[in-house]
Structure 1
Amino acid sequence: MTSPTGPRLSDDAAFPRAADVLVVGAGPAGAAAAAHAAASGASTVLLDAAEFPRDKTCGDGLTPRAVSALRALGMTSYLDGRPRIRGLALHGWGATTQVPWPASRFGPFGSAVARTELDDAIRRFALERGAVMAAGTKAVDVVRDSAGRIESVTVRRGGETGSIRAGQVIVADGVRSTLGKVLGRQWHRDTAYGVAGRSYAGSGLADSEWMGSHLELRDPDGELLPGYGWVFPLGDGTVNVGVGALATAKRPAALQLRPVLEHYAAMVRDEWRLTSPPRDIASALLPMGGAVSQVAGPNWMLIGDAAACVNPLNGEGIDYALETGRMAVELLAESRDHTAAWPALLRAEYGTAFAAARRAAGLLTMPRTVPVLGRPGIRSSALMGVVVRVMGNLLTDDDADLVARAWRSAGLGLRRFESRPPFS
């Protein structure tokens, strides 16, 4: 534990000094956790280094599973008036096919909302449930007792330093997870991770019912890349235009995101009736598929992006964020020590699918694999339906059809041979 330095935080009555549950990070994962914790009656503090609303590098797309998770949180009417996305318009190798979201218990529609709006809306929902917000306040260290339990979290706001006592700590501070690193979290890049860039542009098709996804992604020199491009309609006159690539420690993504993104935007300009060049370009690295260790301790847990709960096949993580926020609060009532219980729960919920998806994503980091699978696949609507179902995280343990059984069997088989299973 590092001793706090600098002046103490002033005795401001509005600043929380203690909480039953302290949630670090007010993105979808942290805000969802705070909403659930406050609704359970726990005194809950939601802390974030940023002032809201704030931006987050993301494709802004919501799969049906993410929409379902918002409803389960209680935000049943939030998406009223937002885009109702029927599925994906897939492009590549001279072919185009529209694939509706497969039938599932999550519902038939996805959506898309800019993260400046979505994250702030979930945060405000948590405050309405009774959580207390500490914005512009960064968690930098912890004080632990002899058993390893966190007694308090050291925070900084401006040039001042202070602490918040906490009975339970939920860490949801994103892909870099500053506090997670303090607690020992390690990101293992031997499995596939994502490199992504996004932008916004005006569009005459901003009210489209289809998300655009281009599986044949090339750089300005025409070289095929192990990734895909997307165009997600936001329903407000703009679209989110982005590119993502897969990489591993052995096969890092050797690409300059800005020129690739600008090249891709030029490629889809006519198709999406873009009325402006890409703006607000931002990029991020994404640990995926549970490729982190040390995700829990006696009275703390990592959730969402901090725990690498991101789909290895498409970089999507909002549904996992909302789900792990709920799961973490439910575990608080069942577990006195989360050190083994939380990673075990994450593996039970996501481990099999992540094992299969991580292996598939690893294969896709080899550019030659992409056309071998993509060229014949995109001409088969049935096969593309399977791809959308897997990439959209729309398979559950309750599904008993052939595709679901095959995907689970592959994941279970691969887990037996993994040297480092998800979340370990």
Structure 2
Amino acid sequence: MECFDVAVVGAGPAGSTAALAARRGGADVVLLDRSDFPRDKPCGDGIAPEVFDVLAGLGVADVAAGYPAVPALRLVSPGGEVVARRLHAGTHTIPRRVFDHRLVAAAVDAGVRFRRHRVRTVAHDDDRVVLDGRFAARVVIGADGAGSVVRTALGHPTNPPGHLALAIRGYAPAPAGPPEQRIVTIPGRWPAYAWSFPIGDGRANVGYGELLTGGALTRGYLMARLGALLPDLDLAGATDWRGHHLPLSTRRPSPGRGRLVLAGDALSLINPFTGEGIFYAVVSGTLAGTAAAGAVAATGGADVAARYRRGLARRLGAHLRHTAVTARLGRWPRLVDAAVRAARDDQAVFDTLLGVGLADGRLNAATLWRIIRRL
């Protein structure tokens, strides 16, 4: 059996940053994933600038090399209101096959041991946790996505309908014209939207996602919605279609117990209004890894859940309360129309809403008042 201070299950952005942070804290770390890298991961691939700030704090640079920033965003509301504005820092569209591989490579370069292994069982053994009888660790970080084995071991079910979305993603020829991210929402099925995010290599990441409310959504239905909302896309020339679930942060489980903690999608850290999850992944992964290294050094790992819970509350607590409010308010399409009108008329409103939807921003009274005035 291989023994470590910290074992991280799942090598997506949450897992790789958790492993990096724990290693930088002096822990002996193993990173486990069922796949070799590079590997594909269905996602919108949009990376907000705040993600790179977090990665820079871990000593990771040049993750966006070769993928130019997209300078503008166009958003169409359910009622047809449109805002199109330049983004101050721009966002990047980096296929997860590339982005995740670069993060795993950074972790390995930092001294993290990577093992290809699919974890199936999680067992407690005195002062450590044993995974499949092969790996033992003082602390285990579950960053293994929406179907997390570690989350199941903690006794948490998956998100129920109303707190879970389904999306389909493919890569299509990029539409003609200046590069911009496009998000088009749909009347009658809100909250739901289609997207087109140019990559910079002649392709765009395109897709459609919708909140699950109990009924099944077929591939044909999702594709039809995408084609109707973005009719200029060449879907016949698109490739690599894959579907994925998005466990929304409106139904988060406890972040951990004992020597087990959760990060990223395993903790249901998906923005309920935009479906964004990479910023949450790198922030929660960094917090989990830092807490794990500190707990191993101080108590042999026994207090990791308490350390992590405090770190999450300080870093994301207020923001997550604001996103929950935003998600509830956003159930009224007329209010979303008003918010888009306000963002079209006022850069400050646009920036505030973007911060709430893509990073860790918060609503403020001035923004709410400007939206209400445009109802």
Is the shorter-chain TM-score for this pair beyond 0.5, marking a shared fold? yes
Measured in 1, the distance between the counterparts of 2:327 and 2:14 equals 24
Asked if 2 retains the 8 angstrom alpha-carbon contact of 1:34 and 1:126, the reply is yes
Cα-to-partner distance string for 1:20-58 (whole Å, 9 max, x where unaligned): 211111111111111222233322111111222221111
Gaps of 5+ in 1: 1-15, 155-161, 407-424
Aligned-partner SS, 2:200? coil
Matches within 5 A, 1:5-404: 17-92=2-77, 93-101=79-87, 108-135=89-116, 137-145=117-125, 149-154=127-132, 162-189=133-160, 192-205=163-176, 208-215=178-185, 217=186, 223-247=188-212, 251-252=213-214, 255-265=217-227, 267-270=229-232, 274=234, 276-289=236-249, 291-335=251-295, 336=299, 337-365=303-331, 369-370=332-333, 372-380=334-342, 381=344, 382=346, 383-395=349-361, 402-403=366-367
* Alpha-carbon distance in structure 2 between the residues aligned to 1:351 and 1:405: 23
Deviations, residues 132-158 of structure 1 (Å, cap 9, x unaligned): 1111x1111123135xx533211xxxx
Query: How many angstroms does 1:188 deviate by?
Result: 4.6
Determine if contact 1:141/1:153 at 8 Å carries over to the other structure: yes
Q: Do the aligned residues in 2 keep the contact of 1:262 with 1:278 (CA within 8 Å)? A: no
1:168 aligned counterpart, secondary structure: strand
Shift of residue 376, structure 1, vs aligned partner: 3.9
1:338 partner letter? V
Letter in 2 for 1:345: G
Name the SS for the 2:121 alignment partner.
strand
- CA distance in structure 2 between the partners assigned to 1:122 and 1:29 by the alignment: 10
RMSD of aligned residue pairs (Cα, Å): 3.0
Partners in 2 of 1:66 and 1:204 — Cα distance?
26
Q: C-alpha separation between the residues in 1 aligned to 2:310 and 2:250?
A: 12
Structure 2 partner of 1:418: none
Residue deviations 1:270-313 (CA, integer Å, cap 9, x gap): 3x5x3744332222222121623243122221111111122111
CA contact (8 A) 1:99 1:385 kept: no
SS of equivalent residue, structure 1 residue 81:
coil
**Alpha-carbon distance in 1 for matches of 2:82, 2:56:** 32
The 1:375/1:400 distance shift into structure 2, 3 A limit, reads: closer
Please identify the structure whose Cα radius of gyration is greater: 1
Residues 163 and 250, structure 2, Cα contact 8 Å, conserved in 1: no
User: Shift of the alpha carbon at 1:230?
Assistant: 0.7
User: Residue 351 and residue 252 in structure 1: after superposition, are their counterparts in 2 closer, same or farther (change >3 A)?
Assistant: farther
For residue 171 of structure 2, give the secondary structure of its aligned residue in structure 1: strand
Displacement of 1:333 in angstroms is: 4.3
Counterpart amino acid of residue 125 in structure 2? D
Whole-angstrom CA distance in 2 between matches of 1:313 and 1:269: 24
User: C-alpha separation between the residues in 2 aligned to 1:190 and 1:355?
Assistant: 20
Letter in 2 for 1:213: I
**In 1, are the aligned partners of 2:280 and 2:359 still within 8 Å (CA)?**
no
AA in 2 matched with 1:360: T
Distance 2:366 2:225 in 1: 40
Q: Distance in 2 between matches of 1:362 and 1:401?
A: 17
Instruction: Give the distance between the partners of 1:346 and 1:333, measured in 2 at CA.
Output: 15
Q: Which moved more, 1:40-49 or 1:88-97?
A: 88-97
| 1:3 alignment partner in structure 2 | none
Compute the displacement of 1:319 (Å).
1.0
2: CA distance between counterparts of 1:373 and 1:214? 16
Evaluate the alpha carbon distance shift between residue 287 and residue 109 of structure 1 in structure 2; reply closer, same or farther with a 3 A threshold.
same
Percent identical residues: 28
* DSSP 3-state at the match of 1:110: strand
Distance in 1 (CA, whole Å) between partners of 2:326 and 2:166 is 17
Partner AA of 2:197 in structure 1: F
Q: Determine if contact 1:67/1:110 at 8 Å carries over to the other structure.
A: no
Cα separation, partners in 2 of 1:245 and 1:17, compared to 1, 3 Å: same
**CA distance in structure 1 between the partners assigned to 2:96 and 2:139 by the alignment:** 27
> What is the deviation of 1:266?
5.4
Rounded to whole Å, the distance in 2 between the matches of 1:46 and 1:298 is 20
TM-score of the aligned structures, taking structure 1 as reference length = 0.76
Q: CA deviation at 1:320?
A: 1.2
**Quick check: 1:86–1:209 contact (8 Å CA) kept in 2?**
yes
* Separation in 1, partners of 2:203, 2:237: 11
Number of aligned pairs? 360
Q: Deviations over 1:197-254 (max 9, x none)?
A: 211111244x954211112x26xxxx5442111101111111111112234xxx4466
For 1:77, what is the secondary structure of its paired residue?
A: coil
Counterparts in 2 of 1:173 and 1:152: CA distance versus 1, 3 Å: same
Equivalent residues of 1:192, 1:362 under 8 A apart:
no
Letter in 2 for 1:143: A
Compared with structure 1, are the counterparts of its residues 224 and 96 closer, same or farther at alpha carbon in structure 2 (3 Å cutoff)? same
Which amino acid letter does the alignment assign opposite residue 56 of structure 1? K
